[in-house]
Structure 1
């Protein structure tokens, strides 16, 4: 049986969880469709999700469509939980992008669609809520073509739009449908279009239909064309047509159960006894209970398995390629860990969080428990980015937005019994080298107290990553020492000259040296005469800090690209507010009595802009924003307190190391 790992994605409130419920009912998994408002849906399992009516964690449910086993993954729609979506996208064989027939293409819709297209995930579009007042048909299809992709084709003909009796039926395969299909494929297959248009008028549909069908299926498989279905998840209208589209265009994959083991961990939760349970998809091979497998470079023994099938996850003794399962016994497993060989699939990376906040326990005695709880939350969402400042006794977490802060607070209260407060959110900046800098320290030569020789050069590069390079022979010292250097370089660049993460640079190791393992007169290992990886881990921060000081850094703040639709009469007031928020708007685009403004605004001002816009536009302004880039800060340079021994202060750094060793 083939397996289809299907993602349901959408902007918040477009109705994807309701659509999931309707698909489960159509497949016979549930008898009654659950309600998001009533908190009775199958995939929103957290109490917090049910109360708020939003999806916070990705959830998996399985059902059969003919000879295809579907693992349906319901993902969060709110941008504050984009990290959950990021971890799922690389697992998908196909996707359904849900768009509201009333609100149309929204900010998160475009972010998700671009990611699916970059990853080559075949994607259908489901226009939901055709029964709501204000629902649109042809105008919305034109909006999809203009704001997502011109290669969209309506597969359904909706009727009664905007009324409770709204329905949707497959379009007749007539000349208008084939003409629309030709137009959608025009930029993808010119020969096909010319052949169709060159056929005699009366024969064109008969001659072109089958070939156009095959061409559409081929382009959907390449994620270059996108069938559009209309319907309502609440009433069930059009859902059968969508199911037909899923079966026709998203065939899934069988995988190779006899191939080498390869999979990815995409979610971690805690069991009743506090044990880690890992969710993973296998792309190749198979795993059985009691197998010893490689997980992220560590060996682990699988103690139990449950496989998703028939609407639930059921205990099983074996999981094979293509399936999603829950694993017990994988030790210190982390999200993103490969199982066996790393899959060859591309991974989508959304922008990192741009805000952070300090979490303050209501009672000082709760501080240890708060650290443990936040550590556990960071296991489930690594982008929480827990930071501990021992000197100030502060715990900070990274955020995408204020809703995420509220959810973290509610989770700490309900699951861990901790009452906390949050300080005002602040922006997370980054540092980038201005020029090149180099430094080196030699073994047995003052002031170097470590049995290691390390030379490093740092220089700026395009992009946002950190590239570690070797400028010395790989055989000049043991591989473990090179690994220690590389790992410590990345750790050290977590806090630059001003305390921010350093990015956009290459670090080259220019000098290396060590003392080989030596023994004392009695034949035992003599640490005083032999280099260890610890010597390199201790020396690298000092050398890299000096090189970074010579290079210099510039602090950059995150900028968001915004798009505001508003009444033309309110343009002046909105422009004045944007200037006060240090935004840079482009020329307004007038569309009748409304206009559209696009530009950039500092991430620190986005929340305030969202709060002010309704008052400036009588509630009619619509704001979309998403991270775009980092730009150098203008004005006073912000700094962030360090959380470790500071290698920029050599004396203090060495003193802190000696204290740590003496404990």
Structure 2
């Protein structure tokens, strides 16, 4: 536990895949003295990518937490995935972090997933700094990446460092260090010590003019942030470096700016100044506003908790790792203290939970030397003992409860049918899938008893492929896997005004109910179904019957559409009139009438099948652009634009997910292995008529 909460930093590393997040994390661990040897992603020796699947693929799949000290600062760092299929890992980490380091590749710049993680950080109001990595790579261009941040991300970058040279050793002006624009010093990092030793010198004459130009831009931002600095500048007095750092910190904390640094994490260049910048510019828990929640017994009553050990305890479960010795619950502590062998409340489940053990986390495991007695506000830890809480749930003081906002995750876009090879594996498969559901909030598994198969759903091909490997390799299950399919949705093409009725003879009683319902499409076809009670107050109908009808419409909407029972979205239902008889009109009759109105409304409004559409970015040498665009057109894609980035061309397209299975391999084949692609969900659009016709009405 940090003795001084003002020196604690809870940060995340976020970026597009292959920007170098895990390498940055490894260098931080090494240069801070938390480990004695630098791990390499390509060698499978990094601390944070410790899962066999991650080591095999060379990518981060699961978020990992490491703790280290840098100077006076105690840093909890979460390394997150860059692949869009595992965006839930980024979502849950940003929900509990105070600040973030956004990493961009100096060659590829701002990419598709860069935009996604930036928007996620915006949504959670997470202050961030920027690290432009891979300055030693062919085609590196600091200024191009810097200039992309504002128009593409809506950011306000302020350079506090400048690279000296760009590219590998064989180019005319290779990358060989950084200029600290605050101190106006040239920093060179000794390759013999993997960047541990830094040589600091005054700026050579040939670097002075450009450095002065960038420093003036930095100072212009400082003047806007600090009246005191502006006054000194108007009086033609020097602005102290401490005042510059303080102004930049204020600007970063209020998200008016993002300080920008640069380097090469692979060679240890610029990583130590980056860690110093984490301490200087990113917030401690004290710099963040109190968390807001509500009283579980009075949901309309808001409550808040300050990051103070003396406040009542409250924390948020943001990740669960199943384990034989007891599930590992990753907790962000927002207020108060948590102790071993204590009891807490989980208001989401209306249950009491045991806190048997507290552990510090290292990578994705408990730190072997990290069992602790007590932790206080601001920290992140692993808890063993709870049984009922799930990801996004609050745990809090049993005598002073608060429920914090949960974590929202994206809907799945792809499914696959699976079944055990033999009946003996069925129970084990069910237990394993339940465990994976607890671990991964974007994974779904639903058993279809009619066909004897289980339908698993996820965020993309890679997501399901990882699940497939875990079932067979990690858990030793013999399972049949069927071809993946996209997750469609259903909506309506127009409006309709219908009357639903119940006229049934039940014994000696004539059941009766009549409902008038309007149905219309919402502007956003992916929005949840809305059901409104517009029945005039003077209408002769009891509240119980009115409630029964509305509940039935909502339940029918949750049950799916008319084409093939896919989830219904983008529909508004309004009940505007009702009729009852003194005898024979009960809740069952009104539920029947509501069901009749629902079926009539969707049929008359015209059911429409919606397919998920992806935003696709392809980065390719210009020589292969024609073949790639032609292939995209054959996949029913719409090319939204293209732009040059150095020697490469970036093509942006919108394509149906159904047509994009296996695209990563296809685009490499078309470009002799020189092009790469990324995808993220964009929206839902009407599917071709033949697709809708292939399902039975």
The TM-score with structure 1 as length reference comes to 0.79
Could you say if the C-alpha distance between residues 389 and 31 of structure 1 is closer, same or farther in structure 2, counting changes exceeding 3 Å? same
What is the deviation of 1:364? 5.0
Q: 1:194 to 1:259 in 2, by over 3 A?
A: closer
Matched residue, 1:611: 665
**Alignment-derived partner of residue 234 in structure 1:** 266
Looking at structure 2, the residues matched to 439 and 188 of structure 1 have their Cα atoms a distance apart, in angstroms, of 66
1:209-608 alignment, distance < 5 Å: 213-254=245-286, 255-273=307-325, 275-288=326-339, 289-308=341-360, 313=367, 314-340=370-396, 341-343=402-404, 351-433=410-492, 434-435=494-495, 459-463=520-524, 464-467=527-530, 489=554, 493-498=558-563, 499-506=565-572, 548-549=602-603, 551-586=605-640, 595-608=649-662
For residues 147-200 of structure 1, give each alpha carbon's deviation from its aligned partner in whole angstroms, at most 9, with x where no partner exists: 445622332233364447843352354686575366469799869799969967
CA-to-aligned-CA distance 1:284-307 (integer Å, 9 cap, x gap): 344443324124132122241314
Q: Alpha-carbon deviation of 1:24?
A: 2.3
What is the CA–CA distance in structure 2 between the aligned matches of 1:183 and 1:431, rounded to whole Å? 52
1:36-55 equivalent positions in 2, closer than 5 A = 36-55=41-60
Deviation at 1:482, TM superposition (A): 6.9
* Larger strand proportion of the pair: 2
Query: Which residues in structure 2 correspond to 1:67-78 (within 5 Å)?
Result: 67-78=72-83
Following TM superposition, by how much is the alpha carbon of 1:513 offset from its aligned partner in structure 2, in angstroms? 13
Q: Counterpart of 2:214?
A: 180
User: How far off its partner does 1:427 sit?
Assistant: 1.4
Does the 8 Å CA contact 2:616/2:654 hold for their aligned counterparts?
yes
Query: Structure 1: 5+ residue runs without aligned partners?
Result: 515-530, 643-647, 649-663
Q: CA deviation at 1:244?
A: 1.0
Distance 1:306 1:334, change over 3 A: same
| Aligned with 1:158 (options 145, 159, 163) | 163
8 Å CA contact 1:169, 1:241 repeated in 2: no
User: Which residue of structure 2 aligns with residue 111 of structure 1?
Assistant: 116
User: Structure 1 residues 210, 276: closer, same or farther in 2, change over 3 A?
Assistant: closer
CA contact (8 A) 2:502 2:592 kept: no
Contact 2:414 2:458 in 1 (8 A): yes
Once the two structures are overlaid, the 10-residue window that deviates more, 212-221 or 189-198, is: 189-198
The alpha-carbon deviation at position 548 of structure 1 amounts to 4.3
Cα offset, 1:253, TM superposition: 0.9
Distance 1:299 1:430, change over 3 A: same
Residue 145 of structure 1 deviates from its aligned partner by: 4.8
What CA RMSD, in Å, does the superposition of the two structures yield over aligned residues?
4.4
Q: Which moved more, 1:35-44 or 1:178-187?
A: 178-187
After alignment, is 124-133 or 433-442 more displaced? 433-442
Q: Secondary structure at the match of 2:403?
A: coil
How far has the Cα of 1:342 moved from its partner? 3.2
Following superposition, the deviation at residue 412 of structure 1 comes to: 0.7
* 8 Å Cα contact 1:153-1:181 kept in structure 2: no
Residues 208-255 of structure 1: CA distance to partner in whole angstroms, max 9, x if unpaired? Answer: 977654443222112232122222333322111001100111131141
CA distance change for structure 1 residues 639 and 304 in 2, over 3 Å: closer, same or farther?
farther
Q: 1:146 to 1:417 in 2, by over 3 A?
A: same
* More off after superposition, 395-404 vs 144-153: 144-153
Residues 490 and 217 (structure 1), Cα distance of their counterparts in 2 relative to 1, 3 Å cut: farther
Pair 1:124 & 2:190 matched:
no
Q: CA deviation at 1:551?
A: 4.8
Matched, 1:635 2:689: yes
- Residues 567-576 or 414-423, more deviating: 567-576
- SS of equivalent residue, structure 1 residue 431: strand
- Counterpart Cα distance in 2 of 1:589 and 1:348: 34
CA deviation profile, 1:481-505 (whole Å, cap 9, x unmatched): 9799769936852422121111223
The alpha-carbon distance between structure 1 residues 260 and 503, as it changes in their structure 2 partners (threshold 3 A), is: farther
Moved more, 563-572 or 216-225: 563-572
Question: CA separation in 2, counterparts of 1:403 and 1:243?
Answer: 33
Query: Which deviates further from its counterpart, 617-626 or 83-92?
Result: 617-626
Q: Residue 588 and residue 30 in structure 1: after superposition, are their counterparts in 2 closer, same or farther (change >3 A)?
A: closer
User: Counterpart of 1:654?
Assistant: none
Tell me what 2:61 maps to: 56
- Give 1:584 deviation, angstroms: 1.7
Residues 1:460 and 1:259: Cα distance change in structure 2 (over 3 Å): farther
CA distance 1:587–1:278, shift in 2 (3 Å)? closer
Q: Which runs of 5+ in 2 are unaligned?
A: 170-174, 185-208, 287-306, 397-401, 581-585
**CA distance in structure 2 between the aligned counterparts of 1:424 and 1:371, rounded to whole angstroms:** 20
Stretch of structure 1 that moved more, 310-319 or 402-411: 310-319
Are the aligned partners of 2:548 and 2:591 in contact in 1 as well (CA < 8 Å)?
A: no
Deviation at 1:47, TM superposition (A): 3.0
Give the secondary-structure state (helix, strand or coil) at the position aligned to 2:467.
helix
1:521: which partner in 2? none
> CA separation of 1:334/1:487 partners in 2, compared to 1, >3 Å: closer, same or farther?
farther
Task: Classify the secondary structure of the residue corresponding to 1:375.
Answer: helix
Deviates more, 1:216-225 or 1:64-73: 64-73
**Secondary structure in 2 aligned to 1:636?**
helix
Q: Is contact 2:562-2:602 (8 Å) kept? A: yes
* 1:171 to 2:181 alignment: yes
Supply the distance in 1 between the matched residues of 2:66 and 2:591 (Cα, whole angstroms).
Answer: 45
Secondary structure of 2:431's counterpart equals: helix
Secondary structure of the residue that 1:382 maps to in structure 2?
Answer: coil
1:587-627 CA-to-partner distances (Å, cap 9, x unmatched) read: 65578986554332112223354433334444444434322
User: For residues 28 and 593 of structure 1, what CA distance do their matches in structure 2 show?
Assistant: 39
| SS state at 1:383 partner | coil
State how far apart, in whole Å, the 1-side matches of 2:689 and 2:695 are.
19
Question: What displacement does 1:378 show?
Answer: 1.5
Task: Write the distance in 1 (CA, Å) between the matches of 2:519 and 2:212.
Answer: 59
Q: Residues 227 and 630 (structure 1 numbering): CA distance in 2 closer, same or farther, change over 3 Å?
A: same
**Are 2:225 and 2:247, in contact at CA under 8 Å, matched by a contact in 1?**
no
Q: Partner residue of 1:17?
A: 22
